[in-house]
């Protein structure tokens, strides 16, 4: 049902990615050098306009790489003109020769979110494991990118689930965590 909803939102709002990128108040983000984006799969909101805006503002782009089904993601530097490789899940990623980096801002795809920072992803736990590992090493800001219509009243969270710090949609930016 949530995938069907996202597909309908994707079809109804072809301008949503540009609108979301324009709606981000850059001053609301914590300072960062490296940020991680993602390659949109299916009807996920395309992060390319947002990534381009963050690069233009001085950020350095990294993309996730899945090495194994039960492992945290790693992030590799990405530059325009790089020849993508395909990771363990068939997603285009930076080449293996690209340096591995540690982002302090991570843009996360999602299937649903709530105002408490709950995030429902694809179900593999990759972002939960990854964000937990990053947060154990230092501060990291988790920005969910979604269509406004992906919001639900409440998600059931398990102890290992990592909450979003903020959400960005075509309708604007909302901080979610205050801890």
Residues 20 and 167: beta-carbon distance below 8 Å: no
Residue 35 lies in a domain: no
- Taking the C-alpha atoms of residue 76 and residue 143, their distance in angstroms, rounded to an integer, is 18
Residue 14 lies in a domain: yes
Query: What's the CATH code of the domain at 109?
Result: 3.40.50.10420
Q: Per residue in 111-158, pLDDT tens?
A: 999 999 999 887 677 888 999 999 999 999 999 999 999 999 999 988
121 is in an annotated binding site: yes
Residue 178 lies in a domain: no
Give the structural domain span for 2.
1-27+41-173
127 is in an annotated binding site: yes
Residue 144 lies in a domain: yes
Q: Per residue in 69-97, pLDDT tens?
A: 788 899 999 988 888 998 877 889 999 99
173 is in an annotated binding site: no
38 is in an annotated binding site: no
Q: Once rounded to an integer, what is the mean pLDDT over residues 36-54?
A: 95
Split into its structural domains, the chain has a count of: 1
The answer on pLDDT for 179 being more than 70 is no
Residues 175 and 153: beta-carbon distance below 8 Å: no
The total number of residues shown for the chain amounts to: 179
Residue 165 lies in a domain: yes
Q: Which residue is listed with tokens 């049902």?
A: 1
Residue 34 lies in a domain: no
What tokens appear for 80 in the block?
Answer: 């325009």
Residue 92 lies in a domain: yes
Query: What pLDDT, on the 0 to 100 scale, is given for residue 64?
Result: 93
Query: What pLDDT, on the 0 to 100 scale, is given for residue 38?
Result: 94
- Whole-structure pTM value: 0.93
């Amino acid at each position: 049902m949530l995938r069907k909803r996202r597909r309908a939102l994707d079809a109804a709002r072809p301008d949503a990615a540009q609108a979301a990128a324009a709606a981000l108040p850059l001053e609301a983000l914590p300072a960062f050098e490296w940020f991680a984006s993602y390659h949109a799969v299916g009807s996920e909101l395309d992060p390319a306009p947002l990534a381009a805006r963050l690069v233009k503002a001085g950020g350095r782009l990294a993309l996730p790489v899945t090495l194994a089904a039960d492992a945290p993601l790693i992030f590799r530097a990405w530059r325009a003109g790089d020849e993508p490789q395909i990771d363990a899940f068939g997603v285009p990623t930076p080449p293996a020769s690209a340096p591995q980096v540690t982002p302090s801002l991570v843009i996360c795809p999602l299937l649903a979110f709530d105002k408490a920072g709950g995030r429902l992803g694809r179900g593999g736990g990759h972002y939960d494991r990854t964000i937990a590992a990053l947060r154990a090493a230092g501060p990291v800001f988790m920005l969910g990118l979604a269509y406004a219509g992906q919001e639900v009243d409440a998600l059931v969270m398990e102890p290992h689930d990592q909450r979003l710090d903020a959400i960005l949609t075509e309708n604007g930016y909302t901080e979610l965590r205050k801890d």
